A = this chain, B = another copy of it.
Amino acid sequence: MNEMDEDRADAWFHALSDRTRRDILRRVLAGEHSVSTLAKSYDMSFAAVQKHVAVLERAGLLTKRRQGREALASGDVEAVRSVGAMLTDLEALWRGRIDRMDELFAEDAPTTDTTTHGTD
């Protein structure tokens, strides 16, 4: 895991660590929304919502396209999948631990059958 990946991960998880941003992401994944439309949904200033959108955009979780005076935001599902993939990698580490525990069991026990491991 190199420095650039960690930077991206920092940005992803930080972007997702705020409930308003998670809610914005839900909306823009379900469909395009202008920033002002989004802003009307929350009990805070337009500028605050705009900043949240900017954080999501910098993290690559959302893209904006300009149409006239509106900025239409759209969620990037590929980025969401990348975050999910990171967690799957974490799970894999855990599974490795379990496998190692199984090996210890196998070493300890009288070897009845070493060829088939029905661990799944």
Interface hits, A12-51 → B, CB 8 Å: 13-14, 16-19, 22, 25-26, 29-31
With an 8 Å Cβ cutoff, the count of chain A residues facing the other chain is 30
Q: Please state if A87 and B83 are interface contacts (CB–CB under 8 Å).
A: yes
Q: Which residues of B contact A93 (CB under 8 A)?
A: 26, 29-30, 75
- With contacts A30-B93, A81-B91 known, is A17 near B19, CB below 8 A? no
Q: Please state if A80 and B84 are interface contacts (CB–CB under 8 Å).
A: no
The residue of chain B having its C-beta at the shortest distance from the C-beta of A11 within the complex is B17
Interface hits, A74-103 → B, CB 8 Å: 75, 77, 80-81, 83-84, 87-88, 90-91, 93-94, 96-97, 100
